Amino acid sequence: MKRERGSSINRVLDILDTVASSDKPISATEINETLNLPKATAHRLCAALESQGYLLKKLNGKSYMPGNRLYDMAVGVLTHSRFRALRHAILKSLSEEIGETCNIAYPDGMQMTYSDRVETQWVLRLQIPIGSSVPLHCTGSGKLYLSTLPKGKLESIVSKLDLTAMTKKTITDKAGLIKEVTSIRENQLSIDNEELFDGIIALAVPITDSQGRFYSSLAFQAPVFRLTLEDAQQYIPHLRKAAKELSTLADE
């Protein structure tokens, strides 16, 4: 059914589309100028969307970015059955190429949650069910997500994290974590060097949308007795290729 032009629902959807499509936080005034809405209407609808969690206001109090509920909607679309089979096929192919467990994870509050996973055929493997969550500070996927955040938001989240030592290699100080995350941002590659589980390494790369914005991580895990960290890096091109395929899938 065709919606009435200029209706409230159309305006709300246009605002969400504008914020989601912007490569930077955008103010209500800029939204107003883009959509040619009455100024009061743009501010009122943005405030309402913020109160419902669809938009998130930056620390400057003026600009908006996608909120958790809008992000959850996007994840829901990407995990829909239309995409699930194709996504899983890419993940399975990658796992067979590397010979180790591969997974996709997305930010979920103060942790990362697995949306898909293909286990290796080796008898000895780390089994973590789909839907399980892992910390941000000691996982390849978690640190990768942190590396995509603006400085202010990164510092805010890190200040709230419980930097529990999961192993002797876990980064447990905030300054050290931010330094690590900065390096990851430059390389677009995150490494878990036995930081979550003793004897288990992981490498993660970003899956992005058409505008280069992060929405999930792609990673593989392996025990160090079977694959050293040095040897694991030969599979980085395989990881990046699969991530690009997954990014393309999301844009279809």
Q: Which domains, ranges and CATH numbers included, belong to the chain?
A: 8-66 (1.10.10.10), 72-251 (3.30.450.40)
Which residues make Cβ contacts (< 8 Å) with residue 169, sequence separation at least 6? 193, 194, 195
* pLDDT band, residue 125 (cuts 50/70/90): low
Summarize pLDDT for 152-192 with one digit per residue, the tens: 889 989 999 999 999 999 999 999 999 999 999 999 999 99
Average pLDDT, rounded, for the chain: 87
* pLDDT band, residue 66 (cuts 50/70/90): confident
Summarize pLDDT for 188-242 with one digit per residue, the tens: 999 999 999 999 999 999 999 877 888 899 999 999 999 999 999 999 999 999 9
CA angle (56, 152, 14) in 5-degree steps: 25
